[in-house]
Structure 1
């Protein structure tokens, strides 16, 4: 029987997973050159940029399918923390012209992944 809780978990999983997956597909199609440049500027190896594929392709697919959902959500949390530190640290508390934070989208992904970690996948998963 479908419960509101299971439906809510499915909706948040699909929203987080699908929206973040679009970013991963873009990186698969267009490369990770921007991230490589950021890493090089910090004297870090450029190949680490390809880790974004884990956080923006593999992890969202795990969450969408409900396969090791909590692990997938932790991968997204790590991915978003790295993105905030590597690319957005200068914008952390800046307000936009509409009164919202510049980084609302990044915080949405981060906190939605934290919520999915604590909520779990619910009843509707690849395994059910």
Structure 2
């Protein structure tokens, strides 16, 4: 039970962080973010795609909806950030440039949700419980029919 609530908390934190980053891209002016991407040698449209991924997947992670798929998106974004921006600054950063330690931590947290069966309380777990209950009901029904058939024979 404690693991379920721990996973829920971790999922909420991860979702809030990415949702916050998506919102900050919009508030700061997505055009400014696109210009910054271009200055880095990246296509400007990538800023829009990343902001959308952070907004949508952040929200889905908070809701616990398509948790594993959202985690895959987060890992892709973090790998991109490390390779294109943060790698030269090193793990902890240098000369005022941030390092990639936070990116690695967020990747590890996202990887947990890809690999673990426990994703906490959310839409995914409610759907899984509902499907599991349907399977249990079907199995019980089959046992009931089977026992009635063997009793009749």
Structure 1 length-normalised TM: 0.79
**Pair member with larger Rg:** 2
Comparing 29-38 with 10-19, greater Cα deviation is found at 29-38
Q: How does 1:43-82 map to 2 (within 5 A)?
A: 44-82=42-80
Question: What's 2:108 paired with?
Answer: 111
Where do 5+ consecutive residues of structure 2 fail to align?
127-153
Question: What's 1:11 paired with?
Answer: 9
Structure 2 length-normalised TM: 0.68
Number of residue pairs matched by the alignment: 122
CA RMSD in angstroms, aligned pairs only: 2.4
Give the helix-richer structure, 1 or 2: 2
Change in Cα spacing, 1:54 to 1:74, as seen in structure 2 (3 Å) is farther
Shift of 1:71: 0.2
